[in-house]
Chain A
Amino acid sequence: MIASSVTTGYVGWLGLVASLALVAVAVAISMWQHLDLERSLVWASVRAIVQLLAVGAVLAFVLDPHVPLAVSWTWVVLMVGFAAETIRRRAPEVPSARPLALLALGVASAVSLALLFGLRIFPMNARTVVPLAGMVVGNSMTATVVAARRVVGELADKRAEVEARLALGQPSHEAARPYVRSALRTAMISQIESTKAVGLVFLPGAMTGLILAGEKPVQAVLVQAAVMFLILGAVATTATAMALGLARRLFTADHRLVALARPV
């Protein structure tokens, strides 16, 4: 028997090694279909193990009851910084992407975590702060990139319309509104669709993890529902903060649209 427990999803070291058989299947498919992805598959798997082990080690330190909660919050700040840098790299044509992403993710993390802990949905401790902030930041990143790129793309594509609005004497925030709205809808729709499909099409990560760890399904569902709503709120807040901040940045104080690079 490779796994250490039959009833829960506890995975031992041998179990982890055995799960590499699934990577071997992927490698075999790559070789069979001449996809030339073998090295990438192996590299991605090795990286994932190393990164997760490193994170696990840090988490073990952070979750130690003797370590102050400030360490968890420091980790959250670092996570937001790293996510902002990732957003900058994924949206190179977006001006001021990093500071705007820092602001958007910071606002979304602050608002959603304040609600979660303020309303006592989860207790505030080392075991909840880092994972929940991770959910907020990780899931908001994609929506933030989409919002930023769509705002720039819409305003570049519809430049003539935007300038026609400005030429009628509309202030820049009003002239940009229809295009910002369209970008925000695009950024948020995928999370809304995921929320609709949850349970029917897929079992999300938090719930799966809890069930595998032996938690009762009803409790797993309650945690998952709270997490989904957290993500939905965070995605909406981050995308909106990014889109509105960016729309301000793309106009001058005297209501002119700056030169824009089109997304590639």
Chain B
Amino acid sequence: MTAIFRLVDVHVRFGERVVLDGVDLEVAPGMATVLTGPSGSGKTTLLRLCNRLEVPTSGRVLFRGEDVATLDPLALRRRVGMVFQRPTLFAGTVRDNLLVARPDGDEEGRRAVLERVGLPPSLLASTGDTLSGGEAQRACLARTLLTDPEVLLMDEPTSSLDAAATGVLEDLTAELVAGGLTVLWVSHDLAQVRRIADERVVLLDGRIAGAERADEYLGR
């Protein structure tokens, strides 16, 4: 199977600090790949390379065989959506937020995408500050889904949520993967990795320390 992302000898340095140190990685399409490892191991930076919110100091990041440096970053980001660590709803209503993602979208599409993430369409008129953390994060996911991405980058999206809201988001993601979406999820919660990962990639000090399929690491 052709990799959806391929990283070739990727190095990232912020000043003197080496964040990624020669990473080679292939991400398979249509699966949930979880990047795990201790804090500061480079997980989030690796994720942000995939939608070009960061660029490598050296090495290449390929999306469907094309170097992301040669692609239009705005078009790339609509194909590679991202959900952040904390809910990032903008000022205004949920509808206003969905309009940012799809200014030409219709009301029916907005209602449908909220239902897809398990939120009632009545929330369209609500402002972000009236939503719970879990609802806000699902609204952010809905906003991202409105751009019809091929890949979802999830940067520890449940770190500020309680167990129930975490479970809902994990189930939603599993449904999206079953529907053909590729998910690249950052997590340092080993139990979560076991629940959601089709493949896990362990990062240590900016290097890949191991990558294995669920049947391999769950079988042990």
In the complex, chain A residues whose CB is within 8 Å of the CB of B190: none
The answer for the CA separation of A254 and B68 in the assembled complex, in Å, is 11
A169's closest neighbor in chain B, by CB?
B78
A171's closest neighbor in chain B, by CB?
B74
Q: CB < 8 Å: which of B14, B55, B144 contacts A168? A: B144
Interface assignment of A255: CB less than 8 Å from any CB of chain B: yes
Docked-complex contact A167 and B53, CB < 8 angstroms: yes
Contact mask for chain B residues 84-100; partner A; CB cutoff 8 A; 1 contact, 0 none? 11101011000000001
Please, how many residues of chain B have a CB less than 8 angstroms from a CB on the other chain? 25
Interface assignment of B73: CB less than 8 Å from any CB of chain A: yes
In the complex, chain A residues whose CB is within 8 Å of the CB of B84: 160, 163-164, 167
In the complex, chain A residues whose CB is within 8 Å of the CB of B53: 163, 166-167, 256
Say whether, besides A160-B88, A163-B53, A255 and B73 are in contact (CB < 8 Å).
yes
Contact mask for chain B residues 107-148; partner A; CB cutoff 8 A; 1 contact, 0 none? 000000000000000000000000000000000100110010
Interface assignment of A161: CB less than 8 Å from any CB of chain B: yes
In the complex, chain B residues whose CB is within 8 Å of the CB of A165: 90, 100
B44 to chain A, nearest CB (A): 11
Contact mask for chain B residues 160-184; partner A; CB cutoff 8 A; 1 contact, 0 none? 0000000000000000000000000
Say whether, besides A256-B53, A256-B55, A164 and B77 are in contact (CB < 8 Å).
no
Say whether, besides A160-B84, A256-B55, A169 and B74 are in contact (CB < 8 Å).
yes
The answer for the CA separation of A254 and B76 in the assembled complex, in Å, is 11
Docked-complex contact B73 and A254, CB < 8 angstroms: yes
Q: CB < 8 Å: which of A170, A171, A254 contacts B52? A: A254
The answer for the CA separation of A198 and B52 in the assembled complex, in Å, is 51
Say whether, besides A160-B86, A160-B88, A167 and B54 are in contact (CB < 8 Å).
no
Interface assignment of B81: CB less than 8 Å from any CB of chain A: yes
Interface assignment of A209: CB less than 8 Å from any CB of chain B: no
A247 to chain B, nearest CB (A): 17
Docked-complex contact A168 and B86, CB < 8 angstroms: no
The answer for the CA separation of A163 and B144 in the assembled complex, in Å, is 13
B143's closest neighbor in chain A, by CB?
A168
Docked-complex contact A169 and B52, CB < 8 angstroms: no
The answer for the CA separation of A161 and B88 in the assembled complex, in Å, is 5
Say whether, besides A169-B147, A170-B100, A164 and B140 are in contact (CB < 8 Å).
yes
Of listed B51, B77, B78, residue having the most chain A CB within 10 A: B77
In the complex, chain B residues whose CB is within 8 Å of the CB of A168: 77-78, 81, 100-101, 143-144, 147
The answer for the CA separation of A161 and B51 in the assembled complex, in Å, is 16
B70 to chain A, nearest CB (A): 11
Q: Can you name 15 A-B pairs with beta carbons within 8 Å?
A: A160-B84, A161-B90, A164-B90, A164-B140, A165-B100, A168-B101, A168-B144, A170-B100, A254-B55, A254-B73, A255-B74, A256-B52, A256-B53, A256-B54, A256-B55
Interface, chain B (partner A; CB < 8 A): 14, 51-55, 73-75, 77-78, 81-82, 84-86, 88, 90-91, 100-101, 140, 143-144, 147
What are the 5 closest A-B residue pairs judged by CB atoms, nearest first? A164-B88, A169-B78, A167-B82, A169-B77, A254-B73
